[in-house]
Amino acid sequence: MSHSFIQMSDCHIDDVECCMGVNTHANLKKIIRKIININTDALLISGDLTHHGTITAYKTLQQILSPIQTKLLVMSGNHDIQNNLDAVFSNNLFSQFALGAWAIISTNSVQKSKTSGFLTQHELTKLDLNLAQSNAKYILIVLHHPIVPMRSTWDDSLSLENPKALFNVLDKYPKIQAIAFGHAHQAAKFSRFGVKIISCPSTALQFNNETRIGFNQYTLHANGQLTLDTQWIESNTF
């Protein structure tokens, strides 16, 4: 039996509708209208839920997400303000959740007042412990920042600063099948020692030549296989 979840990322909802030259509110509403017709086990938002992290923006986001009936899971990005995110989405924060034979485990790569990511020793130790204690047959890791060079116009200095430290932990656990992230505002797939590495597009706008908005849908199979379907929608621009 398979399970599925949807990853959205980098919604950049602000107090006003126009952000970074696009209507992020209208774009996310278009994404939600599509998602509510998909039979899936969970919706995960992998950071940058808002652009400036205000309480108003999180409440606006909560309202836009209100049609979602499935399990909602969120994690912080570099644009988010953790205290405000916690205040509005306290019931949706997660460190790990189970889907059949799989576990989805998050790690927090956000640095205060910096765009690039970094995994502290505390965070790496916590991740190592979560992995060691997991009874899942297969694991997918999710964080906000890219962990490999994006091979695009993206500035890799804005990605995770210490990917080797992350891989030193992950390489101990052969049941890790995939690693997913956002932040780069583009869809991309990579592989490292047979582990899938997946970048999620933004619901706001992409930083490459892609003019559409999108999200990733994952199907997690009982035999450890993972199927990825990146879905695209035309963007609303000003």
**Whole-angstrom distance, CA of residue 50 vs CA of residue 204:** 10
Q: Which CATH superfamily is domain 3-233 in?
A: Metallo-dependent phosphatases (3.60.21.10)
**Rounded mean pLDDT of the chain?**
97
Write the pLDDT tens digit of every residue in 207-232.
999 999 999 999 999 999 999 999 99
Q: What are the DSSP calls for 81-127, one per residue?
A: -HHHHHHHHTTTB-SEEEETTEEEEE---B-TT-SSB---HHHHHHH
Q: Taking the domains of the chain in order of start, what are their residue ranges?
A: 3-233
**Whole-angstrom distance, CA of residue 220 vs CA of residue 213:** 23
**C-alpha angle 191-39-140 in degrees, rounded to nearest 5:** 25
**Average pLDDT rounded to a whole number, residues 20-24:** 96
Instruction: Say what the pLDDT of residue 1 is.
Output: 87
Write the pLDDT tens digit of every residue in 31-52.
999 999 999 999 999 999 999 9
Q: How many CA atoms lie within 13 A of 75 on its CB side?
A: 26
Write the pLDDT tens digit of every residue in 130-174.
999 999 999 999 999 999 999 999 999 999 999 999 999 999 999
**Whole-angstrom distance, CA of residue 105 vs CA of residue 180:** 10
Q: Which is nearest to 158 in space by CA: 130, 184, 140?
A: 184
- Per-residue confidence band for 237, with pLDDT thresholds at 50, 70 and 90: low
Is residue 10 predicted with pLDDT exceeding 90? Answer: yes
Chain-centroid distance of CA 8 in Å reads 6
Alpha helix ranges (H) inside the chain: 24-35, 55-64, 82-89, 121-133, 163-170
